[in-house]
């Protein structure tokens, strides 16, 4: 079985090539074919094209790995390793011509990410990580901020729902892609994220490793650990930040219940 660095090389190469494909669709603008899988859940022809490309590229190179993607049927849930893929995280932004989307790829073993590559093609930003080796963006090492107060903290989330945190002086930043929020927090461009709704494995797996390797913590909103081997790929609303701010956010969410989210 390949080591983590070899798997990372595969993920990074696939992410970059997928980014080139994504940008060809992105430049179509209003000519892009998009629709809703369910109310409020958009998908586009680009999502499906990238899913096909990534499945061929990744499982073709690792036929013994399982496959979990937002856009296609799961295969090999019980495999020792699985690819967890979101071909375009942030489809709503993508179809509107905004830059806050990314391609999110991870290899998971024993329920935890072993390698991660996340590519934001508009900014040509490739985020990568393997356990114990740190996180990088285009080769430069990433670190979360040392923010230790909610007042002044730059949080990624829904301003309309993070009322209590904003009343305590937090600022809110809107980024559509959950995976990209984690990467930007890892890079210190925001101090943390507080999600509104439950997420799926493909939203979080790659960003989880990148954020953790940059020195951050990510849990569910009640402090529960996240694993990526559950039966339905469902995760609780995540909270992520540097250690000091993460503890404060969990404390505040516990005091105020769902109103803070």
Give the position of tokens 């290899």. 107
pTM score = 0.96
Share of the chain above pLDDT 70, in %: 98
- State the chain's mean pLDDT as an integer: 95
pLDDT at 79: 96
Whole-Å CA distances, 26 to 57, 100, 103, 124: 21, 12, 13, 14
Residue 79 structure tokens: 């495999």
- Across residues 86-91, what is the average pLDDT? 97
pLDDT at 150: 96
- Across residues 72-99, what is the average pLDDT? 96
Contact between residue 218 and residue 240 where contact means Cβ atoms under 8 Å apart: yes
Confidence of residue 48 (pLDDT cuts 50, 70, 90): very high
- Across residues 49-63, what is the average pLDDT? 98
pLDDT at 259: 43
Give the position of tokens 């980014």. 19
Q: Where does 4-141 sit in CATH, by number?
A: 3.30.540.10
Is pLDDT at 261 greater than 50 in this prediction? no
Confidence of residue 260 (pLDDT cuts 50, 70, 90): very low
pLDDT digits (tens, 9 = 90+) for 164-203: 899 999 999 999 999 999 999 999 999 999 998 999 999 9
Q: Where does 154-260 sit in CATH, by number?
A: 3.40.190.80
pLDDT digits (tens, 9 = 90+) for 209-254: 999 999 999 999 999 999 999 999 999 999 999 999 999 999 999 9
Closest CA to 153 of 198, 118, 188: 188
Contact between residue 226 and residue 208 where contact means Cβ atoms under 8 Å apart: yes
pLDDT at 190: 98
Contact between residue 85 and residue 43 where contact means Cβ atoms under 8 Å apart: no
Q: Domain extents for the chain?
A: 4-141, 154-260
pLDDT at 21: 97
Whole-Å CA distances, 198 to 6, 51, 98, 172: 32, 23, 24, 19
* Neighbour order of strands in the sheet with 238-241: 171-173, 154-156, 192-194, 238-241, 217-220
């Amino acid at each position: 079985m390949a080591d983590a660095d070899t798997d990372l090389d595969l993920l990074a190469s696939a992410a970059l090539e997928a980014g080139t494909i994504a940008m060809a669709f992105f430049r179509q603008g209003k000519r892009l074919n998009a629709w809703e899988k369910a109310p409020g859940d958009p998908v586009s022809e680009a999502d499906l094209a990238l899913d096909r490309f990534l499945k061929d590229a990744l499982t073709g190179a690792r036929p013994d790995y399982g496959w979990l993607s937002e856009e296609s049927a799961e295969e090999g849930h019980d495999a020792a390793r699985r690819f967890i893929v979101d071909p375009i995280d942030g489809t709503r932004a993508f179809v509107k011509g905004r830059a806050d989307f990314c391609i999110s790829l991870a290899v998971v073993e024993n329920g935890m990410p072993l390698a991660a590559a996340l590519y934001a093609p508009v900014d040509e930003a490739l985020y990568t990580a393997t356990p114990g080796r740190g996180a990088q963006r285009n080769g430069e090492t990433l670190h979360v901020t040392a923010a230790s107060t909610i007042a002044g903290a730059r949080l990624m989330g829904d301003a309309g729902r993070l009322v209590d945190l904003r009343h305590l002086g937090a600022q809110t930043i809107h980024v559509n892609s959950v995976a990209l929020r984690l990467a930007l927090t890892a890079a210190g461009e925001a101090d943390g994220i507080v999600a509104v709704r439950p997420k799926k494995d493909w939203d979080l797996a790659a960003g989880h490793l990148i954020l953790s390797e940059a020195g951050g913590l990510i849990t569910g909103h009640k402090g529960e650990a996240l694993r990526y081997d559950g039966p339905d790929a469902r995760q609780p609303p995540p909270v992520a930040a540097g250690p000091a701010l993460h503890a404060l956010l969990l404390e505040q969410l516990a005091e105020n219940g769902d109103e803070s989210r």
